[in-house]
Structure 1
Amino acid sequence: MKKSENIANPDCKGSCSKPLGEATKAIHVPYARRDAYDALSMPVYNAVAFEFDNAAAMTEAFSGRSGAPDYSRTGNPTVTNLEDRVRILTGAKDVTAFNSGMAAISNALLALTAHGKNVVTSKHLFGNTYSLLTESLARFGVETRLADLTDAEATSALIDENTACVYFEIITNPQMEVADIQQLANAVHQKGSILMADTTTIPFTQFSSHNMGVDIEVVSSTKYISGGATSLGGLVIDYGTVEGFEQKIRGEQLFNFGAYMTPQVAYLQTIGLETLDARYRVQSSNALELATRLQELSQIKHVNYVGLSDNPYHKLAQHQFGKTAGAMVCIDLDSEKSCFQFIDSLKLIHRATNLFDNRTLAIHPYSTIFVAFSAEEKAKMDVLNTTVRLSVGLEDIDDIYNDIKQALT
């Protein structure tokens, strides 16, 4: 767990001797400017453009020197408030909010890559991230090099002077693989390269990826942060260790690709951020209890959850992320037919894609998320047709378990 830093607190009279906790900081980050009506919740600034007192003030805003918003495609007070809260919570130099998790990933990679560059990554990636690298970026001359990221030495061997970055997911979806972040960071930095991590599966309130060596963090804020799948969003978290990255992501990507988060979404996700810690504690506790109970059911051939003590990544996950292990649990049945029958028999749990909704969700990744890949490609990616992915929600744990038990019988 990372230590909280002290922040300006409107409720603190004089100096505060103790740093604020994560849950408190998520609520008490002050506005960049005082609201005209002193609203406790940041209003939704639906305005596209903003007026200035004079030409000099416009120049200061458009050059980024004053911090004032100039145009909502690249800067909006409601979105900036969300970015500021995440920046304080993570200790980052800068945070940029995008309109989806994939937008955050693609813009971060585009800021680093170019024709002739390569990205070292894993075959264990979310389907669209994999195709972004191996198909979309490949058309522009960016090479993808697949490595076993649990082997830092083997990963290092693939890094050369043209490597734009090493990219990985802290818990892969749905394989549930965990790489040693510190070992990976050491190997990457010794080669003079950059480490980028997708940390969506464990909230940044639970651990500090930067303290382990991550340079750039990407998050799908659609997941835990949005507060029950209220909205799509993504975050690029810049820790200031990559020269010129902030200028590329804000001065080029936002202006040229136009994927900035909308103020309506930022408002919803700011509210979600305020309850993130409380919701995550329930979801992760439910996930551990559920995974433990599911091990006792004979119809389930394997339960994959890094929170279980017999999981091969359990000790490493605890070292890196603390006592919680997220809210994604994968189970394997005896056949694809059994998976379909199980999913069709669920009564409480929803048949839907997404992760970390307030509701528990079930999906068959092989035939949905990875449907565009061939059987051979899915085999190489270790995506099995016997796997059902569960996103564990906030319901009573007995109700979740009983629905799974009845669906199996």
Structure 2
Amino acid sequence: MKTKTKAIHSLYQSKDAYGALAMPVYHTDAYEFENAEIMSDAFCSRVPLPDYSRVTNPTVIYFEKKIRELTGARHVHALTSGMAAICNSLLAICGSGSNIVTSNHLFGNTWLLFSKTFARYGIEARFCDLCDIEAVKASIDGKTACVYAEIISNPLQEVVDLKALSDVAHERGCLLLADTTMIPFTRFNAGQLGVDLELVSTTKYVSGGASTIGGVAIDYSCGNDYEERMQEMMLNFGAYMTPHVAYMQTLGLENLEARYSLESANTMELAERLRTLPAIREVNYTGLKDNPFHELACRQFNDTYGAMICIELESREKCFDFLNRLKLVKRATNLFDNRTLAIHPASTIFGNFSKQQLHDLDVSENCIRLSVGLEDMDDVFEDIRQALTD
């Protein structure tokens, strides 16, 4: 089956008693077993039966199964958020004394997780330019557990060469982990580009309309040790996705392709139109042909570029004035809602960072991040235009 069909037609792991077309929400903590032997087998993972909803639930299992079929992955783990997916997965891979080679151009919370939280547990983050393969090679040593990248960084929109990073990581005996939230996993195959573990905030494209918070870890080739440790993380840390969220996000998967097709087309249209506004000094979108990362993004992601635009204004004050004048576009965080959203990253996502840290991370005080929605772009463009008019 093709991707659009797979997203809708995926068999349940067990036949529903009433023939429900939508996977039921199993709002239950525990499950009854026919006998002690089956109960023991379920708890010890010798049979694919749920035992306790903190770690296994039929609604969540179905969501994981759908993503596994859409991506061709070996295993999929659904968690309570994108950050939970990142944190649990890395703790399954890293241990005290190991290190992660990554970029300084990370989403704010991920950078803090690596530089502060993990450091307290003896896991070192080695920041380097992931676009410089020689710098990556120089950063890897015998204690490197993985190379970690964002496929399109947030908000700088830097694109890394996944195949090149994969080759280096695998030559040195470590894994390549990639946060692929910026492009739907239905549009390109991370595993074929050499990614061992794909991490996604399903809060974004998958949920559909910003209805729920969730994340998934999509394992292509991490191996049995990772899978056993990830089961341990799920059992002991309690970050398993809830059944209601899994139900909502399963519905989101069914119309993901339709929504993304419109969002990405809207984003390209808006990016081109924003260049006509004198108050905007720069429009940063990898879909624009003169963007320095356009060719690489086109090659890796099959000629699609996501639904995030960053614009540069004259000053921080102009950014705040612009945000305050918006009438249709919402002042809000999150990405890939049905609505178009605007935020000033330096004062919000990176708001507690020092000026030196903002400089080191290349986070501009003059940048506005736009997440483009499903509205008519005439209306969105007019709102942006009027908000920039003195």
TM-score interval, normalised by the smaller of the two chains: over 0.9
Give me the TM-score of the superposition, normalised by structure 1: 0.94
Match of 1:89 in 2: 70
Equivalent of 1:398 in 365, 378, 382: 378
In the TM superposition, 1:10-159 aligns within 5 A as: 20-159=1-140
Structural mapping, 1:153-232, within 5 Å: 153-232=134-213
**Whole-angstrom CA distance in 1 between matches of 2:222 and 2:59:** 27
Taking every aligned residue pair, what percent have the same amino acid on both sides? 56
Shift in Å, 1:156 = 1.4
1:247 matched to 2:247? The reply is no
Per-residue deviation, 1:62: 0.8
Question: 304, 312, 335: which is aligned to 1:324?
Answer: 304
Per the alignment, residue 14 of structure 1 pairs with none
Q: Distance between the aligned counterparts of 1:156 and 1:189, measured in 2?
A: 11
Aligned partner (choices 357, 365, 374) of residue 337 of structure 2: 357
Q: What residue in structure 1 maps to residue 236 of structure 2?
A: 256
Give the Cα–Cα distance (whole angstroms) in 2 for the partners of residues 185 and 300 of structure 1: 37
Residue 240 of structure 1 deviates from its aligned partner by 3.0
1:291 aligns with 271
Number of aligned residues: 389
Instruction: Tell me the SS of whatever aligns to 1:362.
Output: strand
TM-fit CA distance, 1:243: 4.0
- CA contact under 8 A between 1:117 and 1:163: conserved in structure 2? yes
Counterpart in 2 of 1:386?
A: 366
State the alpha-carbon separation in 2 of the partners of residues 365 and 386 from structure 1.
9
Residue type of the alignment partner of 2:17: A
Report deviation, 1:207: 0.1
Distance 2:95 2:130 in 1: 23
Query: What per-residue deviation string (whole Å, max 9, x for no partner) do you get for residues 364-386 of structure 1?
Result: 00000001110100111010000
Q: Quick one: distance in 2 between partners of 1:153 and 1:89?
A: 34
1:265 paired with 2:235, answer no
Q: What secondary structure, in the 3-state scheme, does the structure 2 residue paired with 1:224 have? A: coil
Find the aligned partners of 2:81 and 2:210 in 1 and give their Cα distance.
12
* TM-score, normalisation: structure 2: 0.99
Q: Are the counterparts in 2 of residues 215 and 242 from structure 1 also a CA contact under 8 Å? A: no
SS in 2 for 1:120: strand
Poorly superposed stretches of 4+, deviation over 4 Å = none
Q: Give, in angstroms, the shift of residue 247 of structure 1.
A: 1.0
Q: Is the 8 A contact 1:217 1:237 kept in 2?
A: yes
| One-letter identity of the residue aligned with 1:280 | Y
Alignment-mate amino acid for residue 203 of structure 2: T
1:242: Cα distance to partner?
A: 3.1
Q: Show CA shifts across 1:77-113 (max 9, x none).
A: 0000000000000000010000011000000111011
Structure 1 gaps of 5+ residues are 1-19
**Whole-Å separation in 1 of the counterparts to 2:138 and 2:224:** 24
Residue 3 of structure 1 is matched in structure 2 by none
Q: For the Cα contact (< 8 Å) 1:126–1:172, is it kept in 2?
A: yes
In structure 1, distance between residues paired with 2:37 and 2:72: 32
Describe the SS at the equivalent of 1:165: strand
For residues 21 and 395 of structure 1, what CA distance do their matches in structure 2 show?
Answer: 28
Pair 1:279-2:259 in alignment:
yes
Q: Residue type matched to 2:214 in 1?
A: G
Q: For residue 282 of structure 2, what is the aligned residue in structure 1? A: 302
Aligned residue number for residue 8 of structure 1: none
Tell me by how many angstroms 1:135 deviates.
0.3
How far apart, CA to CA, are the structure 2 residues paired with 1:151 and 1:210?
Answer: 22
Structure 2 Cα separation of the partners of residues 164 and 131 of structure 1: 19
Query: 1:168 touches 1:198 (CA, 8 Å); kept in 2?
Result: yes
Equivalent residues of 1:299, 1:333 under 8 A apart: yes
Deviations 1:131-179 (A, max 9, x none): 0000000001111100100112210111111011110100000000001
Q: CA deviation at 1:30?
A: 0.4
Q: 2: distance between equivalents of 1:156 and 1:284?
A: 35
What's the RMSD between the two structures over aligned residues? Answer: 0.7
Residue 27 of structure 1: SS of its match in structure 2? coil
Mapped to 2, the partners of 1:247 and 1:348 lie a distance apart of 48
Contact 1:100 1:221 in 2 (8 A): yes
User: Is the partner of 2:342 in helix, strand or coil?
Assistant: strand
Which digits, 9 at most, give the CA deviation of each residue in 1:159-212, with x for residues without a partner?
Answer: 111011110100000000001111111111111110000000000000001100
Structure 2 counterpart of 1:385, one-letter code: E
